[in-house]
A and B are shown apart, each in its own frame.
Chain A
Amino acid sequence: MSIAATQKRGFGAFLWDYITTVDHKKIAHLYLFGGGFFFLLGGLEAMIIRIQLATPENDFISAGLYNEMITMHGTTMIFLAAMPLLLGLMNAVMPLQIGARDVAFPFLNSLGFWLFMFGGILLNFSWFMGGGAPDAGWTAYAPLSTQSPGHGVDFYVLGLQISGAGTLMGGINFLATIVTMRAPGMTYMRMPLFSWATFITSVLILFAFPALTVGLFLLMFDRMFGSAFFDVALGGNTIIWQHLFWIFAHPEVYILILPVFGVFSDITATLSKKRLFGYTAMVFATILIAFLGFMVWAHHMFTVGLGPVANSIFAIATMAIAVPTGIKIFNWLATMWGGSITINSAMLWTLGFIPSFTIGGMTGIMLASAVADYQYHDTYFVVAHFHYVIVGGTVFGIMAALHFWWPKMFGRILHEGMGKLTFWLFFVGFHLTFFVQHFLGLMGMPRRYWVFLEDQGLDTGNMVSTIGAFLMAVGVVIFLINVFYTWAKGNKAPADPWDGRSLEWAISSPPPYYNFKQTPLVRGLDPLWVEKMEGKGEITPAEPLGDIHMPNSSILPFLISLGFTIAGFGFIFQVDHSAYLILVFAGIGLALLSMLIRSLKDDHGYHIKKEELEREAD
């Protein structure tokens, strides 16, 4: 079942292998592929937005379509691109970093992926059926979302509900993995920061997503079953949606950023050849950001009219987040200080991140100043802020991580030249696109504007912004070429291409499907580095060679997700005709049946025999 073997078998077998896999490394591939696909889609939508806004009073696309475009761009990028890409990286790297053979619930891992994928596909079906995509913004404020005609918002509700359930499972899975499956000696305070970030991010997922789940249920009930949560005539209150949404969505933005903080910590230390400066402070800063992250959601609601007391409290709480984040920025700088920095593509993205994210973070603090936000709110200033943190943070981080761990994940090294070219094009394009948007906002351009008027001083800025976006697009295309090139004839990767410090670099690239032949013994922070410094260069095993227990592959996760998706279609269209209820029953039936099979049929997995392991050459 090694990679070579799968390649020799036919494409059908290859596909079947991936559809049924429960191996965290293959699930990581799936997440990267799915997330990557949606990133291109979201990027395409962004390009359409930017073309529409290239000149004043443009009519490249219609007003209704424009609203669909921004909604789908935001939703796709956040839920279907950024988060899955991050979950993919976590799947690929975290178990290796803590010396585990798999995650706690391999079956659930696969289920989580398929729920995300089907949820995303369901959401995007709205383009083709039911009268258009959702058009109430990614924030779907009621009552615009409850009154939105057609089925667009219904697709939004069910697509996110399904993919959200998948994410929640992923979170619980990582938590249990880190709690129970760390290798001997891998104490919490020896975990690499990416694993720490995975842990804290999972906590955020666990506590943030339920609020979204509830919000989506309320919205669904209002739209499909005539309840009155957001119906003012029957006593409903639309602000409830805003609270629920932001109670989820603010932690969500830290779900997007904390993992890449982990990525940058690992990369900075490795490529500066220094241990991470202030490890303990970095861990606690991560925890503190997560903790504070739950107390600040109303900074998105400063103009709702909650009153000066609430606004002040939330303003102060928000500003407090500057402190732990600052600790991180300065610790990264201090890690590099005195180091011996290798500047390759992974490091370039890291170096690009620091000033870009600092700018984004600072504009965040500016937004937190409630009275100033009365001006910024819902303008391009906010658009600029969040693209600075999300693109300059999350996307840069994902790119850094991809260049850094590509060899480990796929066994080949990405082409350096193209890597650097991608970076420079994207970096310049990014600043061109979003820097001017700060000024556009202050000059009176609200966000979600289909057109801006002539003669309002907004033409040049918007044009510059569009040009920048094209540069980014070229950068992305070159990255794609790089991926195909590497896949076809890239250099084979050694086990440890960057002189690594953590456990993942102690095993071959890509790792064998059981990860560690013998569970490693961890003797300190940066375990591989410790061994290298003591001249051994390889990890001491914690156990004698023995049988390895492995989980069985299963098609059930795919079927369960498919069932829920069919039911999703049923829910959406039963409003038009009750015959569609058949889909609801059939879909839920399929899902329940698959779950029943799962719980009734014992699945004890299988064992790789000791002899077999001995036979495999090192």
Chain B
Amino acid sequence: MKGWMGKFKSLFLLSMLALVLAGCGKENLTALVPKGYGAESSMNLIILSTVIMVFVFLIVILVYTIVLIRFRRKKGQEGYIPKQVEGSKTLETVWTIIPIILVVTLAVPTVAATFDLADESASADGINIEVTGHQYWWHFNYEEEEFATSQDLYIPVGERVYVHMLSSDVIHSFWVPSIAGKMDVNPENVNTMYLEAHEEGVYWGKCAELCGPSHSLMDFKVIAVSPEEYDQWVSDMQNADPEEEPQDAVAQDGKALFEENNCMSCHAIGSAPSAVGPDLTNFANRSRIAGYLEPTKENLVDWLMDPESLKPGNKMTGAYPALSEEEADSIAEYLLQLEHSEITPESAGGL
């Protein structure tokens, strides 16, 4: 699949690059500029099939154009009756055989790639992360490393990271277009796929299965860092101290309010297990709030005061006492100090 495909690929990539430069597609989102193993596999097939399809289409259009030019009824032809042809064995055989050949050309690499991407035999030696899809956020449990995060998934570049996915409610679908294709996150059965990023960076992830009103806002990010940085990040996360008191008074207030307002029943900070809401341990390092909002304090305050207006149907609305602007502000101050590592989305290149 590599040799002659390579030529096609470089040609295609060149033209694709032109498209991208013309402003088509955001670099860390589009599937057209693959930055990982799975996405590249898919891209190879996309290119191959596109080439076949363009070829077929051109043939159809060629015949079509000739027909339209030559065989339109001309003036003064009213009584003309063309020869009534029944068919032609040769022709019909030709346009049966050629499509068969083309289809086989596409089918063989498809099957090869399908088995290649389903190969999980090396997962025991790789990094394994449990992914849980919730309406409308993502939870990432680093089981062996014994800590968890939400919304932002950190992975090392160049290694296969196996994600084992299960849903806590309805079906979601885990998709990071630049790195790998998608896989459904079902409630009854763990699905596994692997991510292998080729380049450092922060990549958009999207939920691709209709899961309720805020399906379109169920974004997450994959942060691919160098293996050294990844190890650093893991140890930082493991050593995060949830009890650490904030420095300034406002934030200390916020911490108290956080405890008073029942936030703890859903959100974990540090090692305490939680599954109802996102883990907030490293909240200040989030690339986005609630998956899609710019990580500014105003946005956070808005979120805390009225999550419904930002994410319709989310499960936080109404689950805690109403907050005054001041209270929300203090909590925001506190949350925005929850930072435990130098390795951040920013350091990985930003969104």
Which A residues have a C-beta under 8 Å from some C-beta of B? Answer: 62-64, 66-67, 135-137, 141, 143-144, 147, 232, 236-239, 272-275, 277-281, 303-305, 307-308, 311-312, 315-316, 319-320, 322-323, 326-327, 329-331, 333-334, 336-343, 351, 354-355, 358-359, 362-363, 365-366, 368-375, 377-379, 439, 442-444, 446, 448-453, 455-457, 460
Bound CA span A351–B61, Å? 11
CB neighbours of A304 from chain B (8 A):
184, 186
Contact status B88-A278, CB under 8 Å: yes
Contact status A334-B181, CB under 8 Å: no
Task: Identify B216's interface contact among A135, A312, A333, A451, CB under 8 A.
Answer: A451
Task: Identify B82's interface contact among A274, A372, A375, CB under 8 A.
Answer: A274
Could you mark each residue 108-119 of chain B with 1 if its beta carbon is under 8 Å from any beta carbon of chain A, else 0?
A: 001101110110
* Closest Cβ neighbor of A446 among chain B residues: B208
Task: Identify B215's interface contact among A363, A448, A455, CB under 8 A.
Answer: A448
B2-10, B90-98, B255-263 - the one binding chain A: B90-98
Task: Identify B181's interface contact among A281, A303, A368, CB under 8 A.
Answer: A303
**B281: Cβ under 8 A from any A Cβ:** no
Task: Identify B173's interface contact among A303, A307, A368, A450, CB under 8 A.
Answer: A303
Bound CA span A482–B195, Å? 56
Known interface pairs A355-B64, A362-B56, A371-B114; 18 further A-B residue pairs with C-beta atoms within 8 A, sorted by A's residue number:
A67-B212, A232-B187, A236-B188, A238-B186, A304-B186, A305-B183, A308-B115, A308-B117, A315-B111, A316-B107, A327-B95, A336-B71, A362-B53, A370-B114, A371-B181, A375-B42, A377-B182, A455-B26
**B274: Cβ under 8 A from any A Cβ:** no
Contact status B42-A340, CB under 8 Å: no
Bound CA span A137–B215, Å? 12
Task: Identify A371's interface contact among B102, B110, B211, CB under 8 A.
Answer: B110
Residue among B39, B42, B117 with most chain A CB within 10 A: B42
Task: Identify B208's interface contact among A239, A305, A378, CB under 8 A.
Answer: A378
Contact status A67-B175, CB under 8 Å: no
Tell me the minimal C-beta distance from B303 to chain A in angstroms. 16
Contact status B31-A443, CB under 8 Å: yes
Interface bracket on B: 35 or more
* Closest Cβ neighbor of A370 among chain B residues: B114
List which B148-196 residues lie within 8 A (CB) of chain A.
Answer: 169-171, 173, 175, 177, 180-184, 186-189, 191
Which B residues have a C-beta under 8 Å from some C-beta of A? Answer: 23-26, 29-32, 38-39, 41-43, 45-46, 49-50, 52-53, 56-57, 60-61, 63-64, 66-68, 71-73, 77, 80-88, 91-92, 95-96, 99-100, 102-103, 106-107, 110-111, 113-115, 117-118, 169-171, 173, 175, 177, 180-184, 186-189, 191, 204, 206-217, 219, 292, 312-313
Contact status A457-B87, CB under 8 Å: no
Task: Identify B210's interface contact among A67, A143, A273, A308, CB under 8 A.
Answer: A67
CB neighbours of A377 from chain B (8 A):
173, 181-182, 208
Tell me the minimal C-beta distance from B196 to chain A in angstroms. 14
Task: Identify A378's interface contact among B26, B71, B182, B312, CB under 8 A.
Answer: B182
Bound CA span A460–B19, Å? 14
Contact status B45-A369, CB under 8 Å: yes
Contact status B313-A64, CB under 8 Å: yes
CB neighbours of B180 from chain A (8 A):
374
Contact status A238-B184, CB under 8 Å: no
CB neighbours of A326 from chain B (8 A):
56, 95-96, 99
Contact status A137-B210, CB under 8 Å: yes
Contact status A312-B114, CB under 8 Å: yes
CB neighbours of B96 from chain A (8 A):
323, 326-327
Task: Identify B169's interface contact among A143, A273, A319, A455, CB under 8 A.
Answer: A143
Tell me the minimal C-beta distance from A72 to chain B in angstroms. 14
CB neighbours of A351 from chain B (8 A):
68
* Closest Cβ neighbor of A136 among chain B residues: B210
CB neighbours of B313 from chain A (8 A):
63-64
Contact status A371-B213, CB under 8 Å: no
CB neighbours of A141 from chain B (8 A):
170-171, 209-210
Bound CA span A458–B66, Å? 37
Task: Identify A334's interface contact among B49, B88, B208, CB under 8 A.
Answer: B88
Q: Provided the pairs A144-B211, A147-B169, A316-B107 are in contact, do residues A456 and B26 lie with their beta carbons within 8 angstroms?
A: yes
Bound CA span A135–B312, Å? 14
Bound CA span A236–B182, Å? 24
